[in-house]
Structure 1
Amino acid sequence: MAKLIKKVQKKQPDENKESIISELTEILEKIGFTVRVEKGSFKGGFCILNEQKLFLINKNLEQDKKISIIAQSIAAIGAEDIYIKPGIRKIIENEKADDKLF
């Protein structure tokens, strides 16, 4: 007897979260990083490759996780001298505070 395999539908991306991710990546670019979204067995983070500052983010991560990783990285680098919208700055500060708990 053949089994019926149900195809799980992908979650539709949240427009608001996509906007936040876009604004966070713009901040990284202002700091001087090239942002690349790729598949792989990693979560994300910054590195230097051939004297080029890169920030990699895993394409398959959920939106909330992408926001968290990018915001924590910006908090670690420091972006005090760059204008950041108050709502986005609050997300970065919250991630920085949450990161200190661990």
Structure 2
Amino acid sequence: MKFTQSNLDKLEDVLNQSGFTTRYERGTFQSGWCLLEQKKVVVLNKFLDIEGRINTLVDIIPQLQIDFDKLTHESQKLYEEIMKKVVTENK
């Protein structure tokens, strides 16, 4: 995946379509992100560059309960790509 604003927007769309809000805030995050599961909010360190934001979202998305049926076709393909990557890495 290329590190572009367009790809970052697509990753954020996957979260938004599943009811998650993505916020960029200042803070001392251990790994660049914080998840408030009860409120379905993903908070990323606003000082991360685009590459850091994309890598962080790719790491976070498999940990979340994403409602696949609510995703658009394009978002479903991206989600499946991310999940295949996780399965491949865990082998």
Q: TM-score, normalised by structure 2?
A: 0.68
Instruction: Tell me which stretches of 4 or more aligned residues in structure 1 moved more than 3 Å.
Output: 78-81, 97-101
SS in 1 for 2:23: strand
1:64 matched residue in structure 2: 51
Mapping for residues 1-102 of structure 1, pairs under 5 Å = 17-42=4-29, 43-48=32-37, 51-79=38-66, 80-81=68-69, 82-83=71-72, 84=75, 86=77, 88-89=78-79, 90=81, 92-93=82-83, 96-97=86-87, 100=90
Identity %: 22
RMSD: 2.7
Structure 1 residue 26: Cα displacement? 1.4
Structure 1 residue 96: Cα displacement? 2.1
Select the structure of larger CA radius of gyration: 1
Where does the alignment leave 5 or more consecutive residues of structure 1 unmatched? 1-15
Q: TM-score, normalised by structure 1?
A: 0.62
Question: In proportion to residue count, which structure has more helix?
Answer: 2
Where does the alignment leave 5 or more consecutive residues of structure 2 unmatched? none
